[in-house]
Chains A and B, each alone.
Chain A
Amino acid sequence: MMSSEFFTIWFLPGVWITVQVTLYAAVLGAAVSFGIGLARDSRLWIVRFAAGAYFEVFRGMSALVLMFWMFFALPLFGWQLEPMWAGVSALGLTYGAYGSEIVRGSLAAVPTAQKEAGVALDFTRWQRLRLIELPQAWPDMVPPFNNLLIELLKGTALVSVITVADMTFAGNLLRLGTNQTTPIYTLLLALYFVLAFVITRGMRMLERRAKAGIGERPEKSGGIGAKTGARGDGPRAGSRSAGGVR
């Protein structure tokens, strides 16, 4: 059975490592998402091409294989990564590729008139992006980013395979040590579920604030009839309810 000693030495730090890996990979992933997502609409074809190639390669790549490769093959090129950073990079790079599609898609969904208005007011490209396009695209990005973040959290379990002592690693240790599998793996599944739940709650809050920031009411979760906000929910709602029903 799970001794308290094991619990404090391996399991609790493992939970903390899982949280850390999720956080770091999320930060790296967000940077990649925005970097690649913006670059894919660049005016220079070479930048667009490079970003597109990045997207296709990392989207086609299995995160686990990439992680293995970074852990075992990269050192032979002279790059020795700490296991944890190999895991974080592999996760951040792959999930960032998925995220870039979210960023690109939501930016493309901002009504053209908004961008033209920016041009008419003689905003620079950067000003348009920062003051007009991103604030309107952001609320649309939050829900898909939530899904991606959950996928990332689930992906962090993979780092246990390259010897990072996260909570899955602790679980495997306990199995090897005691052959008691039922309690620990059940606990693990429950813990991941709780973490996913916490993330979803946090992102819901973020979504409400993002929508309030551009004067939209948050859509109530569940129930299809509840989707008639003051301005419809985001650009895509235009066809559904023009100009606020109620």
Chain B
Amino acid sequence: MNWDWNVVNDFMPRFWDGVLVTVQALAVGSLIAFALGLVWALAQRSARVWVRWPVVAVTEFVRNTPLLVQLFFLFYVVPNFGPSMSPLATGIVGLGLHYSTYTAEVYRAGIDGVPAGQWEAATALSLPRGRTWRAVILPQAIRRVVPPLGNYVIAMLKDSPMIATIGAFDMLGEAQTFSNETFTTEALTVVGVAFIVIAYPASLLIRVLERRLVR
């Protein structure tokens, strides 16, 4: 096997296009996952059974089924009776939805980790419900959830190439089409290395955050 740097050079412009798409998917997907996860977590604590139970069922189902099949479902089935979206949009929604079920667990653990005394103090001060959450519980829970949330962003990065299977041109999608056009494989190797190069410093960063925030 001979490695050809010229091939790598030819691939570079498209590689950066792919990086851009991956970063977009990751950024918007994370936002969806963070927001939706909090919604799930709060709904799971609801006093009403008809809110709690369906949310638990849906999140369990989504968490225990493959993201790949969920992407196919969103891309091929949902348009039959709902909105049809571009591959990238579908991928973002899929990533966000899938990981929101994980972040929900993170928030749940974070909220459970707030000492009971804090709840009691809020009750003693007769703070209204909304105020209790916004001013007492969530600020304390957030510190604990930042590092695990970061870990899920990295996990999402590693799952993001799946959106290439429904036709989005992320790093893998670009590498695949480039390889098919030129009958080379350097592009795939470049993308593989790129993942490690991005993920490793990111995981170091999370470890630093962990030391700083969780005490």
What is A's interface to B at a CB cutoff of 8 Å? Answer: 56-57, 59-66, 68-69, 72-73, 76-78, 150, 153-158, 160-161, 168, 171-172, 175, 181-182, 185-186, 188-189, 192-193, 196-197, 224
B80: Cβ under 8 A from any A Cβ: yes
* A199, closest chain B residue (CB): B64
B: which residues have CB within 8 A of A?
1, 61, 64-70, 72-73, 76-77, 80, 112, 157-162, 165, 172, 176, 179, 185, 188-189, 191-192, 195-196, 198-200, 203
Nearest B residue to A72 by beta-carbon distance? B185
Q: Are A73 and B69 in contact (CB under 8 A)?
A: no
Residue of A nearest to B3 (CB): A76
Secondary structure call for the B interface: helix
| A to B CB contacts below 8 Å, 28 in the list | A59-B199, A59-B203, A60-B158, A62-B158, A62-B160, A65-B172, A69-B192, A72-B188, A73-B188, A73-B189, A78-B1, A150-B64, A154-B67, A157-B68, A158-B66, A161-B165, A168-B66, A168-B72, A181-B80, A186-B77, A189-B61, A192-B65, A192-B66, A192-B69, A193-B61, A193-B65, A196-B64, A196-B65
Most buried by B among A64, A158, A161, A186: A64
Residue of A nearest to B176 (CB): A68
**A154/B66 in contact, CB under 8 A:** yes
CB atoms of A185 and B72 under 8 A apart: yes
Instruction: Find out whether the CB atom of A192 lies under 8 angstroms from the CB atom of B64.
Output: yes
Q: Is the CB of A69 within 8 A of B68?
A: no
6 smallest CB-CB distances across A and B, nearest first, come from: A60-B199, A157-B66, A73-B185, A154-B66, A196-B64, A62-B158
User: Which of A65, A155, A181 meets B191, CB within 8 Å?
Assistant: A65
Q: Are B158 and A63 in contact (CB under 8 A)?
A: yes
Residues from chain A with a CB closer than 8 A to the CB of B66 are 153-158, 168, 192
Chain B nearest CB: distance from A106 CB in Å? 19
Chain A residue numbers with a CB within 8 Å of B188 are: 65, 68-69, 72-73
CA of A184 to CA of B80, assembled, Å:
13
CB distance from A80 to the nearest CB of B (A): 13
- Does B196 lie within 8 Å of A60, measured CB to CB? yes
Residue ID in chain A nearest B112 by CB atoms: A224
Assembly CA distance A150 to B105 (angstroms): 16
A57–B200 alpha-carbon span in the complex (Å):
8
Q: How far is the CA of A172 from the CA of B75 in the complex (A)?
A: 12
Q: Which of B80, B176, B185, B195 contacts A62 (CB 8 A)?
A: B195
A61 to B194, CA, bound (A): 9
Alpha-carbon distance between A175 and B76 when the two chains are bound, in angstroms = 9
The answer to whether B69 and A61 touch across the interface, beta carbons within 8 angstroms, is: no
Q: When the two chains form the complex, which single residue of B1, B65, B196 contacts A61, counting CB atoms closer than 8 Å? A: B196
Contacts of B65 in A (CB 8 A): 154, 189, 192-193, 196
Question: Are A185 and B172 in contact, with the CB atoms below 8 A?
Answer: no
Residue of A nearest to B68 (CB): A157
B196 touches A158 (CB 8 A): no
Knowing A64-B172, A68-B172, the reply to whether A185 touches B69 (Cβ < 8 A) is yes
Query: B203 — which chain A residues lie within 8 A by C-beta?
Result: 56, 59-60
A224 closest partner in B (C-beta):
B112
Task: Count chain A CB atoms within 10 A of each CB in B65, B112, B196 and give the residue with the most.
Answer: B65
A76 to B3, CA, bound (A): 10
Partner of A181, one of B70, B76, B112, B176: B76
**B80 cross-chain contacts in A, Cβ below 8 A:** 181-182
Q: Which residues of B contact A196 (CB under 8 A)?
A: 64-65
Please, which residues of chain A bring their CB within 8 A of the CB of B165? 161
A61 touches B189 (CB 8 A): no
B23 CB to nearest A CB, Å: 15
Residue from A56, A76, A161 within 8 A of B1 (CB atoms): A76
Find chain B residues with CB under 8 A from A77 CB: 1
In the complex, the answer to whether B73 meets A189 with C-beta atoms within 8 Å is: yes
In the assembled complex, the Cα of A78 lies from the Cα of B192 at a distance in Å of 19
**Alpha-carbon distance A156/B61, docked complex (angstroms):** 17
Point out the residues of chain A lying under 8 angstroms from B158, CB to CB: 60-63
B73 and A185 within 8 A (CB): yes
Contact of B1 with A188 in the complex, beta carbons under 8 Å: no
The docked-state distance in angstroms from the alpha carbon of A69 to that of B66 is: 21
